[in-house]
C-alpha cells in the first residue's frame, strides 16, 4: 500500500475557526490521514473527545494506528453522511464542533491503482469506499449516452460534453475503456490540439464529474449539514472545506438559510414561514489559502473554507 500522505488544507485557519473547547466533543467527518484531527486532539483535555469518520478503509487503518494511544479518539469506518445517525446510536446527541473536508486526499489522487487521476495510469475506479459496487469503469462503459451527458454537464460543467460522450460511446463499442489513460486519450481527442496544448488538463472536468457520480458526493450534502448544525451546542462551530463551485454552492446556501430569520419571498408583508436563524456566519466570505500555503501545496488553490457558529 502506498504510504498515506496528505497535507491538510488551511490547517491553521480550520483550528482557529473551530475555536476548540478543551472539554468539547468534536467530529471530523472526513478524517483522511488525520492531519486536521491531530491538531484538534492537541487542544482537547482528557474530558474532550474526537469522533473521526472516513469511508476509505485505508484512511481508517492509518488513523487507527496513528491515534491508538489516544483514549479520547474514536475512529469509525463509515460514509460521513451517516455520521449524525451513528453518533446518536453511540449516545452522542450534542457536539461542540464538526469539520467536513470534501476534497479527495493526496493519497487517493497519487495512488495509481485507485484510478482517480488522469496523471497516473490505473484501472478506472475512483471509489472512496473500495467496498461499494459502483465504480468509474461501470459509469464509463455502461451508462447511457443521455446519462453520461447529464453527468458531464451537471457535475463537470463541461461545455464540450457532447463530443466527449460521442467518443466514449464510439470507443466502448470496440472494447471496454479500462484505464485512466485510455479515458484521458479519448477526452483529449475530443478537443482541438491547440486547446490541449494551450490549456492542459482538459480531462479535469470529466474526471471530476465521474468521480462525483461514483461517490454520490453531492446527494444528501444539504440534509447532512442541517443535521450536524442541529446537533451543535450553543457556541459550537461547524467548518466545511470545499474544492469546486457545485459543493461550495450547497454549503453556502445551507449556511445562509440557517443564518437567516425569515425565508418568505421578499414582497411578503408579514412573515408566514416562522423560520428562525440558528447560526451566525463566522466569516461572510469564504476563507482561502494564503500565499505561503499556495506555494507549498498547489492543491489548496481551489479550496474554500466556510464556518458558522451555533446561536
Domain 11-102+219-310 has CATH 3.40.50.150: yes
| Contact between residue 232 and residue 88 where contact means Cβ atoms under 8 Å apart | no
Over the stretch 173-227, which tens digit does the pLDDT of each residue have? 999 999 999 999 999 999 987 776 555 589 999 999 999 999 999 999 999 999 9
Supply the pLDDT for residue 199: 55
Distance between CA 199 and CA 3 in Å, rounded? 31
pLDDT band at 1 (very low <50, low <70, confident <90, very high): very low
Over the stretch 30-79, which tens digit does the pLDDT of each residue have? 998 999 999 999 999 999 999 999 999 989 999 999 999 999 999 999 99
CA dihedral of residues 267, 270, 276, 282 (deg, nearest 10): 40
For the chain, give the percent of residues with pLDDT over 90: 76
Q: Quote the pTM value.
A: 0.89
Over the stretch 157-181, which tens digit does the pLDDT of each residue have? 999 999 999 999 999 999 999 999 9
DSSP notation for 210-248 = HHHHHHT-STTHHHHHHHHHHHEEEEEEEEEEE-SHHHH
| Contact between residue 72 and residue 40 where contact means Cβ atoms under 8 Å apart | no
Distance between CA 161 and CA 156 in Å, rounded? 9
The domain spans of the chain are 11-102+219-310, 117-215
CA atoms within 13 A of residue 179's CA, in its CB half-sphere: 9
Over the stretch 81-99, which tens digit does the pLDDT of each residue have? 999 999 999 999 999 999 9
At 235, give phi and psi (nearest 5°): 90, -10
Assign a CATH topology to domain 117-215: DNA polymerase; domain 1 (1.10.150)
pLDDT band at 2 (very low <50, low <70, confident <90, very high): very low
Amino acid at each position: 500500500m502506498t504510504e498515506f500522505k496528505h497535507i491538510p488544507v488551511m490547517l491553521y485557519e480550520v483550528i482557529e475557526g473551530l475555536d476548540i473547547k478543551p472539554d468539547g466533543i468534536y467530529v471530523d467527518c472526513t478524517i483522511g490521514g488525520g492531519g486536521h484531527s491531530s491538531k484538534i486532539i492537541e487542544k482537547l483535555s482528557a474530558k474532550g473527545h474526537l469522533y473521526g469518520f472516513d469511508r476509505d478503509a485505508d484512511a481508517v487503518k492509518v488513523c487507527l494506528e496513528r491515534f491508538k494511544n489516544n483514549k479520547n479518539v474514536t475512529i469509525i469506518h463509515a460514509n460521513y453522511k451517516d455520521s449524525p445517525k451513528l453518533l446518536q446510536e453511540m449516545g452522542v446527541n450534542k457536539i461542540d464542533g464538526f469539520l467536513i473536508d470534501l476534497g479527495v486526499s493526496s493519497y487517493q489522487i497519487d495512488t495509481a491503482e485507485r484510478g482517480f487521476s488522469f496523471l497516473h495510469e490505473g484501472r478506472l475506479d475512483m471509489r472512496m469506499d473500495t467496498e461499494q459496487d459502483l465504480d468509474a469503469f461501470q459509469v464509463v462503459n455502461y451508462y447511457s449516452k443521455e446519462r453520461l451527458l447529464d453527468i458531464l454537464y451537471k457535475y463537470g460543467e463541461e461545455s464540450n460534453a457532447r463530443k466527449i460522450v460521442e467518443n466514449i460511446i464510439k470507443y466502448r463499442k470496440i472494447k471496454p475503456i479500462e484505464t485512466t489513460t485510455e479515458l484521458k486519450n479519448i477526452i483529449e481527442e475530443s478537443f482541438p490540439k491547440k486547446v490541449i496544448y494551450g490549456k492542459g488538463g482538459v480531462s479535469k472536468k470529466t474526471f471530476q464529474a465521474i468521480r462525483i457520480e461514483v461517490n454520490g458526493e453531492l446527494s444528501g450534502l444539504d440534509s447532512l449539514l442541517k443535521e450536524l448544525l442541529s446537533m451543535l451546542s450553543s457556541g459550537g462551530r461547524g467548518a466545511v472545506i470545499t474544492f469546486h463551485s457545485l459543493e461550495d454552492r450547497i454549503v453556502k446556501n445551507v449556511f445562509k438559510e440557517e443564518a437567516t430569520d425569515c425565508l418568505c419571498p421578499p414582497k411578503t408583508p408579514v412573515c408566514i414561514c416562522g423560520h428562525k436563524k440558528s447560526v451566525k456566519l463566522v466569516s461572510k466570505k469564504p476563507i482561502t489559502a494564503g500565499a505561503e500555503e499556495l506555494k507549498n501545496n498547489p492543491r489548496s488553490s481551489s479550496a474554500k473554507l466556510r464556518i458558522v457558529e451555533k446561536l
